[in-house]
Amino acid sequence: MMKRNKAVITWLLAGCVLVFIMVVVGGITRLTNSGLSMTDWHLVTDTFPPMSEDKWQEAFEEYKKFPEYQKINVHNDFTLDDYKFIYFWEWFHRFIGRVIGIVFIIPFLYFLVRKKLDKATIGKCLILLGMGALQGFFGWFMVKSGLVDNPDVSHFRLALHLTFAFVTFAYTLWVALDLVYPERKQPVYALRKIARIALIILIAQIIYGGFVAGLNAGLIHNTWPLMSEGQFMHDSIFIEKPTVGLALTEGQSGVQFVHRTMAYFVVGIIVFLYIRSRKININVQQQKGLNALVVLVFLQFLLGVLTLLYRVPLWLGLAHQVMAFFLLTAMTYTLHRLSK
């Protein structure tokens, strides 16, 4: 590790930890149906929650103007205390986003002025800055879809917001790893190609995880290994939507079918990558990355099955999302070690 880069590496890894925390809180926000509690976006005045009962009541009255309250919560004896609970998680999620912005921008300017960053790292950090800003936009773009007519956010926008958070984390980690391991090395081409394909499939699986979450598709067909009534592809897939394409992207049964089926491909390609690595001379770092991948992918598969069987309880749904994060971390590390 280059001595002059220790502070920069610590800064980037701290950013990874904060993004991880934000995704965890985002998962809690989604699983507690808290995401539509803040009906507007004010950069300064929303930094802290309402500070008096009058302000709380004012925010609650504003919330009552929107579909989630009018179509769902108005029938559930929804009180101000209930509103404070869901408000907290959405506010905390946005607050962490603000913290990430500060933690990134201020040290970046400091390192820039002190000439602690080389030209390549400056370029990568500017990309990260743009990704952070774009993620904030995607967050509001998602929330906005649930404030018009439908009291649920668009599952496409939710998947975009979720997946981009994962991608931002992975890229931040990659930039940090470039500094942790500055030496150039000969890539393992045979394994790198497989690892790249595995990463693409994993990202696709994360996207479909967002679809499942957005459509509440984990609340149906709560059987495994087959769907309801012992069917591999349940009949409802073909009657939910007029076309197969729409059924597999917008139908609850279709989206769940793709997600549960793609899980086998994720496991399969990672196991294949591991088996191939046993026939090639690789270093300790590469082997550790592959070992972690195999362990994590089986844990994630198990969590996915349990989450489905128990109809997505909060702790299992959150654990499944967190394990996906760990799996992407191991995938990013392994691919980095197999590349130049």
User: Mind listing the pLDDT tens digit for each residue in 100-138?
Assistant: 999 999 999 999 999 999 999 999 999 999 999 999 999
Q: Is the dihedral of CA 87, 49, 11, 131 positive or negative?
A: positive
pLDDT tens readout for residues 50-98: 999 999 999 999 999 999 999 999 888 899 999 999 999 999 999 999 9
Dist. CA 282–CA 22, nearest whole Å = 35
Considering only residues 187 and 141, tell me which one the structure prediction assigns the higher pLDDT: 141
Average pLDDT over the chain reads 93
42: left (phi over 0), alpha (psi -120 to 50) or beta: beta
Dist. CA 127–CA 283, nearest whole Å = 31
Domain ranges of the chain: 1-183, 185-340
- What pLDDT does 150 receive? 83
Q: How far is CA 238 from CA 211, 224, 243, 263, 273, in A?
A: 18, 20, 8, 21, 35
- What pLDDT does 44 receive? 59
pLDDT mean over 141-162 = 92
- What pLDDT does 4 receive? 52
Residue linked to tokens 């980690």? 173
Dist. CA 258–CA 227, nearest whole Å = 12
pLDDT confidence bin for 257, thresholds 50/70/90: very high
Using omega within 30 degrees of 0 as the cis cutoff, is the peptide bond preceding 225 cis? yes
Dist. CA 110–CA 213, nearest whole Å = 40
Cβ distance 166 to 328 under 8 Å? Answer: yes
pLDDT confidence bin for 2, thresholds 50/70/90: very low
- What pLDDT does 308 receive? 98
CA angle 25, 130, 167 (to 5 degrees): 50
Cβ distance 36 to 146 under 8 Å? Answer: yes
Whether 1 shows a pLDDT value over 60: the answer reads no
Whether 223 shows a pLDDT value over 70: the answer reads yes
Q: How far is CA 316 from CA 33, 303, 311, 312, in A?
A: 16, 7, 9, 6
Say which amino acid occupies 122: I
Dist. CA 243–CA 237, nearest whole Å = 10
- What pLDDT does 101 receive? 93
- Identify the CA nearest to 152 among candidates 42, 73, 96, 94: 73
pLDDT tens readout for residues 22-50: 999 999 999 999 999 998 876 656 788 89
The 8-class DSSP code of residue 34 comes to: -
pLDDT tens readout for residues 284-299: 999 999 999 999 999 9
Q: How many CB atoms lie within 10 A of CB 84?
A: 16
Dist. CA 209–CA 255, nearest whole Å = 9
Cβ distance 201 to 300 under 8 Å? Answer: no
Phi, psi values for residue 44, rounded to 5°? -95, -55
What whole-number percentage of the chain has pLDDT above 70?
Answer: 97
